[in-house]
């Protein structure tokens, strides 16, 4: 199987007319790409998690804005802006929790509003193309920086360390390298032995199995000594003394350091606290939403019952008609977090002050305003 690090998760096609995404719903069995240029198909790909992971859907949002804007048949700037606003709102409605999607759409829209004076629609389309490509390129550099800060922590713990992770916040969840798995890729670059120096434990991550299907695949194709465990085995492994550190990704961090990540993350953090295992959250600064005071304000995506009751089974595994809860994310309290690793450094409590010192500020929102998050 190809090393996952060499696969492009999301890119703009050479002719600039489509987004090419790796269909993550087929992994690890099949490596297939989709070429998307219709609004409904892009929306479906994000909603169905064909492209997923907060930074990767942010990059997709940037390309979606550009491609759909470039298809608009008008020379009138006011009409162009009005249509772009509709595009932004439609694409943003595909998934609510990861702030990176609205962050990228807001960034594209801010460029349009700030630079439209004195430009033709055709010139503005070219400018939007540049911006969408910049978002992807920056994501790669940001992920590498997160990896470098995380690697410093691994170095302190020493070779042979056990790392636990939840869901997938690896290269597949970003443009390259990932956030939570980036420190592992940097360690490998620094000559760490993948079989002896690193032992990675991937929570299977019910109900959509991003840990088993994606993180385990990434780590195994990188040659790393990798283990999959059902989510309810995390406490057992932590108690065994095999885990030196936990790295998770995240979808949105509030100003006080509370953060939303894949469902089950808060349980992992609570258990880690019990066993005294350092618990780090890895996130680009674009995932930090300084407009939210605490995690109580984060909008949690609720998904279909069938993902829990039947999707992975030959026959339904719960009685017909039973109630099902299927929140895609949960919020972990900041008191359980050892540090938040960003591309600007590692933030520690009190998190708001730490973020402010790093220059992280609230950004102007055209979509995903606070009143939409109730």
In the complex, the smallest distance separating the C-beta of residue 262 from ligand MRU, rounded to whole angstroms, is 3
Q: Where are the beta strands (DSSP E) in the chain?
A: 10-12, 19-22, 33-36, 161-165, 198-203, 225-229, 245-248, 252-254, 259-262, 279-282, 288-289, 329-332, 339-342, 345-347
Is 262 one of the binding residues for ligand MRU (CB under 6 A)? yes
Of residues 169, 220, 174, 175, the one with CA closest to residue 28: 220
**Which range binds ligand MRU by CB under 6 A, 35-43, 45-53, 271-279, 357-365?**
45-53
Rounded distance between C-alpha atoms, residue 29 and residue 50, angstroms? 14
| Binds ligand MRU by CB under 6 A, chosen from 98, 175, 331, 340 | 98
Is 188 one of the binding residues for ligand MRU (CB under 6 A)? no
Residue 332: how many CA atoms within 13 Å on its side-chain side? 33
- What is the dihedral sign for C-alpha 213, 218, 222, 227? negative
**Which range binds ligand MRU by CB under 6 A, 51-59, 155-163, 223-231, 237-245?**
51-59
Rounded distance between C-alpha atoms, residue 138 and residue 156, angstroms? 28
Nearer to ligand MRU, 128 or 173 (CB): 173
Is 183 one of the binding residues for ligand MRU (CB under 6 A)? no
**Active-site residue flag, 225:** no
| Binds ligand MRU by CB under 6 A, chosen from 94, 132, 174, 215 | 174
| Binds ligand MRU by CB under 6 A, chosen from 68, 88, 112, 328 | 328
Rounded distance between C-alpha atoms, residue 370 and residue 374, angstroms? 8
Nearer to ligand MRU, 194 or 264 (CB): 264
Instruction: Please name every residue paired with 225 in a beta bridge, in sequence order, or none if there are none.
Output: 199
CB atoms within 10 A of CB 71: 14
Cα angle 38, 179, 229 (rounded to 5 degrees) comes to: 100
What residues from 204 to 233 belong to the interface with ligand MRU (CB under 6 A)? 210
Is 250 one of the binding residues for ligand MRU (CB under 6 A)? yes
CB atoms within 10 A of CB 155: 15
Edge-to-edge order in the sheet of strand 19-22:
10-12, 19-22, 33-36
Is 289 one of the binding residues for ligand MRU (CB under 6 A)? no
Closest residue to ligand MRU: CB criterion: 249
Is 169 one of the binding residues for ligand MRU (CB under 6 A)? yes
Applying CB under 6 A, the site for ligand MRU has a residue count of 19
Is 285 one of the binding residues for ligand MRU (CB under 6 A)? no
**Which range binds ligand MRU by CB under 6 A, 27-35, 125-133, 218-226, 245-253?**
245-253
Rounded distance between C-alpha atoms, residue 305 and residue 307, angstroms? 5
Q: Do 175 and 134 contact (CB within 8 A), yes or no? A: no
Q: Catalytic residue among 139, 203, 251, 258, which?
A: 251
| Binds ligand MRU by CB under 6 A, chosen from 19, 27, 42, 49 | 49
**Which range binds ligand MRU by CB under 6 A, 52-60, 103-111, 119-127, 195-203?**
52-60
Catalytic residue set: 251
Which residues of the shown chain bind ligand MRU in the complex (CB under 6 A)?
49, 52-55, 98, 167, 169, 173-174, 178-179, 210, 249-251, 261-262, 328
């Amino acid at each position: 199987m190809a090393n996952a690090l060499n696969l492009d998760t999301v890119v703009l096609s050479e002719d600039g007319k489509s987004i090419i995404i790796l269909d993550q719903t087929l992994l690890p069995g099949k490596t297939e790409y989709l070429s998307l240029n219709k609004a409904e198909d892009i929306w479906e790909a994000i909603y169905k998690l064909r492209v997923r992971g907060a930074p990767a859907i942010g990059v997709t949002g940037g390309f979606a804005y550009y491609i759909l804007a470039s298809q608009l048949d008008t020379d009138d700037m006011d009409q162009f802006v009005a249509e772009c606003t509709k595009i932004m709102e439609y694409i943003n409605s595909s998934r609510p929790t990861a702030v990176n999607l609205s962050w990228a759409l807001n960034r594209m829209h801010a460029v349009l509003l700030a630079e439209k004076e004195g430009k033709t629609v055709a010139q503005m389309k070219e400018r939007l193309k540049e911006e969408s490509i910049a978002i992807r390129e920056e994501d790669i550099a940001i992920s590498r920086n997160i990896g470098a800060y995380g690697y410093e922590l691994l170095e302190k713990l020493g070779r042979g360390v056990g790392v636990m992770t939840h869901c997938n916040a690896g290269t597949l969840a970003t443009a390259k390298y990932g956030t939570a798995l980036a420190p592992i890729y940097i360690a490998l670059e620094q000559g760490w032995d993948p079989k002896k120096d690193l032992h990675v434990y991937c929570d299977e991550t019910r109900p959509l199995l991003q840990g088993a299907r994606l993180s385990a695949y990434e780590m195994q194709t990188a040659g790393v000594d990798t283990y999959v465990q059902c989510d309810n085995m995390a406490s057992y492994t932590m108690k065994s003394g095999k885990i030196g550190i936990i790295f998770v990704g995240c979808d949105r961090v509030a100003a006080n350091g509370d953060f939303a990540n894949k469902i089950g993350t808060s349980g992992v953090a609570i258990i880690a606290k019990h066993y005294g295992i350092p618990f780090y959250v890895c996130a680009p600064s674009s995932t930090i939403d300084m407009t939210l005071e605490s995690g109580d304000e984060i909008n949690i995506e609720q998904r279909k019952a069938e993902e829990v009751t039947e999707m992975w089974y030959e026959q339904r595994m719960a009685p017909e008609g039973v109630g099902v809860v299927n929140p895609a994310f949960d919020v972990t309290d900041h008191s359980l977090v050892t540090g938040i690793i960003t591309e600007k450094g590692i933030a520690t409590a009190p998190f708001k002050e730490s973020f402010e010192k790093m220059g992280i500020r609230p950004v102007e929102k055209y979509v995903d305003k606070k009143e939409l998050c109730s």
